Amino acid sequence: MPMVVELEAFVSWVCLHTGDEVVGYVGTWFDSPLARYLSEVTGHLVGTDGRRYGRALSDYQRWLLLPRWAELFTAWVESCPRRPVRGDEVLEVLARIELALRSMCTH
C-alpha cells in the first residue's frame, strides 16, 4: 500500500466535500478525514494513528510514517473528543498547520 500522502491531494479531496457535509470524525483512527481520504484513494480501510497510517488488517508495525503535515493533522484529530467534522473546519486546521510549518522553516 505504499503511497505518497500529499497535502495538495488531501485538500482537493476535502474541497469536494465542503459545506455541511461531514468529511469524517475527529477522535477516531479509521473514520478521521485523513483516514477516509486514504481509504477512498487506496480502496482499503486505512487508519491513522500518531505518526503512522496503514491498512486496518495490517500489523501495526508495518504501518508507514506520515509526512509532518499529516502527523500534525492527526495529532489534532486525536486530541478531540469523537464528533463529526465538516470540510471547512478541516481546511481551517490545515491552513494553521501550513503556516506553522512555514514559520518553522524560516527560523
d(CA 12, CA 88): 12
Locus of grid cell 473514520: 31
Give strand pairing partners of 52.
49, 65
pLDDT at 106 over 60: yes
What are the tens digits of pLDDT across the range 37-80? 999 999 999 999 999 999 999 999 999 999 999 999 999 999 99
What is the model's pLDDT at position 17? 87
pTM to 2 decimal places: 0.91
For the record, the C-alpha cell of 24 comes out as: 469524517
d(CA 93, CA 87): 10
What are the tens digits of pLDDT across the range 6-45? 999 999 999 998 778 999 999 999 999 999 999 999 999 9
Is residue 26 a contact partner of residue 80, using CB atoms and an 8 Å limit?
Answer: yes
Residue type for position 45: L
For the record, the C-alpha cell of 72 comes out as: 500534525
What is the model's pLDDT at position 4? 76
